[in-house]
Amino acid sequence: MKLELLVFVLCFSFQFLVSRALECSSSKVAYTITVSQSGDANFTTVTDALKFIPSGNNQWIKILLKPGTYKEKIEIQQDKGCIVLEGEDRTTTKITYDAHSNTLESVTFAVSMDNFVAKGVTFENSYNIIQKDTVPGVVPAVAYKSYGDKHAFYSCGFVGFQDTIWDDKGRHYFKSCYIEGAADFIWGNGQSVYEECEINVTGEGFITAHGRESAGDTSGYVFRGCSVSGTGRVELGRAYRSFARVIFIDSKFDNVINPEGWSIWHQEGHENDITFAEVNCKGPGADTSNRVPWEKKLDASEVEQYTTQAFVDQDGWIAKQPL
């Protein structure tokens, strides 16, 4: 191990002994480690770089990925903290794997810790993309899972077919990201804002499947200024649980949205509890004249509840992360 890395480990291990703070101690990166498949970096795999970060870390550590396709299956456990994963560009820097069938075990990249930032990286599950023309039907194959609070993504890519993003727990913010899939490809119980994201529909299915379980549950998906296009036909969402909540605001829909727009799925009788809504959306797919009758109509005060600040950034955590 290089001397500077050894010193880093000793310093951060001592820090953990004297401080068990759950929050990141500043908004600046304390240390950067590099990953390159060519060997001209601290590590050749993302997995080894993550192993290097000590448990209980509370200072921002950046993992800088050099361009390449990293075939790795990764889970960042809850005992880590304060990590930035940054690639050169989502078109040149990819983490991919092809696990499938079992949803929990299929995830290419899973984050269970709090305080995580990704920028300029694509997360992919390649299984259905490769197999969909050669086998009957598709199976769950997750590209990315968020299961922690205060996760932010900037100019990232998420590529799959079924269950692409498992957006499942905590507050999450997606800005200028590319998301590809067909069947329930943004799903779970997260409390998330997707802002100015490009959503590419590649088959028949549903964009979202949200799992809000009660009226007091703060979770939901809000899409602001996003674009939806592609080669498939989808509904904007179906109710994964009885109080599902998905709102599209100021977004543009190409002609890929089915006229009914939304599906009750297995939650019949809960139409009044589900919040599916469209506000000021445009494009050939935004005609709401044939939408399901239980789609919600939000007034101005209700729409204000779904700004980025009001919905996920009440304590200003986004500005405290290193960008």
Active site residues: 163, 184
Non-local (6+) Cβ contacts of 199 within 8 A are: 179, 180, 207, 223, 226, 227, 228, 229, 230
Is the distance from CB of 153 to CB of 175 less than 8 angstroms?
yes
Q: Tell the burial category of 307 from Cβ atoms under 10 Å away from its Cβ (0-12, 13-18, 19+).
A: middle
- Four-residue CA torsion sign, 47, 38, 118, 142: negative
- In DSSP notation, 21-46 reads -SS-S-SSEEEEEEE-TTS-SSBSSH
Three-class DSSP category at 47: helix
- Distance (Å, whole) CA 260 – CA 160: 25
Is the distance from CB of 161 to CB of 139 less than 8 angstroms?
no
Give the residue among 316, 323, 253 at the shortest CA–CA distance from 285: 253
- Distance (Å, whole) CA 199 – CA 94: 18
Three-class DSSP category at 128: helix
Q: What b/e readout covers 212-247, taking b as 16+ CB neighbours within 10 angstroms?
A: beeeeeebbbbbbebebbbeeebbbbbbbbbbbbbb
